[in-house]
Structure 1
């Protein structure tokens, strides 16, 4: 079952940097989701897509995937760009 390895990003509502240095191994969906005819909720029989494993480093996540024979793709972390802006820029 294919998986992807990526670094967690911080939420838009998060001001701190807690848990942003963790790496996540997340399994991709192997089945399409379906709508429940009674309630209308979406569901799937695929339980692996609910599994998220966290690791302290990218190398640890790759080692875990290799140990258990998981075909994993590593997504590079985009560079962080700071948008320096002053309050006075709103009135230009």
Structure 2
């Protein structure tokens, strides 16, 4: 097992594909990059690795707290830029039946 320190990634927690709201998206996560390649187990055929740090996800309320934790534990880290909120125009259901609309009917 390799003892070299893997680079950590500090990023905003993305919204789940199963949720439409913004709950639990304000936090920051510290996750580790894989230190070794994944390989297939000869007995089961499942993919695996000896690197257990990739399973670790530490959550923080602020970016500064995540950076302070990484510095205190001598973990090299990269900070990803903040996610940009998509610009969503609210529409009503009646817009689907508006006369002269440019988009095609999809169903």
Larger RCO (CA under 8 A, 6+ residues apart) = 1
* Alignment partner, residue 18 of structure 1: 23
Match status 1:77 vs 2:82:
yes
Match status 1:38 vs 2:37:
no
Q: Distance in 2 between matches of 1:13 and 1:56?
A: 22
Give the TM-score, by structure 1 length: 0.89
Q: Distance in 1 between matches of 2:77 and 2:65?
A: 13
Offset from partner CA, 1:2-25 (integer Å, 9 cap, x none): 100000011121122221011000
* Alignment partner, residue 5 of structure 1: 10
Give the TM-score, by structure 2 length: 0.78
In the superposition, relative to structure 1, how do residues 47 and 89 fare at CA in structure 2: closer, same or farther (>3 Å)?
same
Unaligned runs of 5+ in 1: none
Displacement of 1:36 = 1.2
Which SS does the other structure have where 2:64 is aligned?
helix
Q: Number of paired residues?
A: 92
Match status 1:60 vs 2:65:
yes
Q: Distance in 2 between matches of 1:11 and 1:60?
A: 23
